Each structure stands twice: as structure tokens, then as C-alpha cells.
Amino acid sequence: MAIIEVENLVKIYKTGDIELRALNGITCSINQGEFVCIMGPSGSGKSTMMNILGCLDVLTFGSYILDGISIQGQSRAALADIRNHKIGFVFQGYNLLQKADAIENVEMPLMYRGVASSKRRKMAKEALESVGLGEQMYKRPVQMSGGQQQRVAIARAIVGKAPVLMADEPTGALDTKTTVEIMRIFTALHEEGTTIILVTHEPDIATWSQRVLRFRDGKLISDEEASQDVSGENEIKPGII
Ligand SMILES: Nc1ncnc2c1ncn2[C@@H]1O[C@H](COP(=O)(O)OP(=O)(O)OP(=O)(O)O)[C@@H](O)[C@H]1O
Ligand SMILES: [Mg+2]
């Protein structure tokens, strides 16, 4: 069953009199439980696509149906609510609140949802334990490594048990070993049934997924099964670890 259905999606950014067509007629659908990578050169529209799919930005033309809900024309408040229940989003730069400790960061989406404080704590604790941070719950981002911060961000993205996890270059700022740790977490979440959509520049990261959507100049130029070829030197590939 399709959890994401996009038809003729167009995104135009307007800056003064200048219009830039960042996405130019994208049609695709993603089934529940798939693990999909989005690839393509810089400026090809990957982040624009993710931000629209993640309800962080709105499309200009076309249609987007998320888990049966038509997204266009929704108010900001309705969009925020849909996002909170349907999507976990992981950014390259973690986007954690610096003044809050790990567990408070993870509790944030549950606060918006109005979950009672003791239940919130319990759920946040479980999410942090599931990403291997059971011992780091009261540290602030500044006291943590990049990989640990990204794991806090993943815990925050999964704490509300949203069906879709989206990540825009989540390992872009991390070393190889930490990248592998993060990819293992995504794989485990995928095995539990979460739909995963991940933007990456690295072909080796894409080998962890099932399907690769390639963008160029705001268009979807190919939609193929991911290469499961794990031969070669690179230690980021899943089969080698
Ligand atoms: N807020 C914005 N306002 C105006 N133009 C934008 C905005 N965001 C992106 N763009 C433009 O839209 C196009 C697509 O940008 P996007 O960020 O989606 O690319 P990308 O594929 O994610 O690139 P990268 O690999 O560098 O992250 C680019 O030409 C970019 O300059
Ligand atoms: Mg980008």
C-alpha cells in the first residue's frame, strides 16, 4: 500500500521577481515499509523534495497524498499536526536544542502532542535506549559527539512512532564508523516496519536501501532497485561489516 503518493509535483521558489523551478513535475509513490534513497547532484532538488514530503514546506502545483491524507491546501496548524503524527525527520546538522539535554530534546514532539509528562519521559527514555544512548540521557548536545547527537535526533524522530522516517544527508557530517552505526539503526527501524526515505550523496550508503530515486534539474530521472553489490573496498557497505 502506498504511504506516499506524489503527482506532477512542482515547486517554484520566488525571490523578488526571480522564479526558480526547483522541482519540475515529479510523480512517484512509495509503499509502506520501503527503504528508499534519493540521490542526485547538488541543486537537483533533493532537499526541496524531502521538505515537501516532510510537510516542512508546501508544493506550488501538483498533489501529495500522505497515508491517505491530501496535503495541499492544509493550514499551517493542520500540517504541523499531520507532520507530528506521520513523520520523523532527521537533518544533517542534527537540529537539536542546545539548551536542552538529550531526553528533553527527544520529548519535544510528544510535548506538542500533549502527552503527559511521566509518559513522555518513559517514551523518550525507551527511544534513547533503542539508539544506544541509555547512559547519555542527561547530557546536552555540546557534551556529545556528532554521532551521539545524530542518535539523539533519531530518537526524537522515532519517539512518536510515526510511520515514516525521513533523513536529509543524516551521515553527511559523520566519519565512516559512525556512519555505519547510524545506518544500522536505520536498518533495524526498517526491519521493524518503518518506511525510510533518505537523501544521500554516497552510492555506498544507497546500497543499504532497496530502491534509489535519482534527481537531476528538478526531475526524477530514474527509479531503480538499489544495487546490492557489496563487493569492493569501501567499508560503508552493509555486507562487509
Ligand atoms: N529557500 C529557497 N529559496 C530559493 N531557492 C531555493 C531555496 N531552497 C533551494 N533553492 C534552490 O532550489 C534548487 C534545489 O535546491 P535543493 O536544496 O533542493 O538541492 P539539493 O539537491 O538538496 O542540493 P544539495 O545536494 O546541495 O543539498 C537549487 O537551485 C537551490 O538554489
Ligand atoms: Mg540538500
Q: Is the CB of 44 under 6 A from ligand 1?
A: yes
Set out the domains of the chain in order of their start, with CATH numbers. 34-58+75-240 (3.40.50.300)
* pLDDT for res 239: 62
Residue 123, phi then psi, degrees to nearest 5: -65, -40
**Of 168, 3, 203, 160, which is closest to residue 95 (Cα–Cα)?**
168
Ligand 1 centre to CA of 162 (Å) is 26
Q: Tell whether ligand 1 has an atom less than 6 A from the beta carbon of residue 22.
A: yes
Q: Which atom of ligand 1 is nearest to the CA of 14?
A: 4
- The answer to whether the CB of 231 is under 6 A from ligand 1 is no
Grid cell, residue 68, equals: 491517505
Ligand 1 atom at minimal distance to the Cα of residue 44: 21
Distance from the alpha carbon of residue 89 to the mean position of ligand 1, in angstroms: 18
> What atom in ligand 1 is closest to the CA of residue 48?
18
The angle at the Cα of 41, spanning 237 to 210, to the nearest 5 degrees, equals: 40
pTM for this model (two decimals) = 0.93
Model confidence pLDDT, tens digit, residues 17-61 = 999 999 999 999 999 999 999 999 999 999 999 999 999 999 999
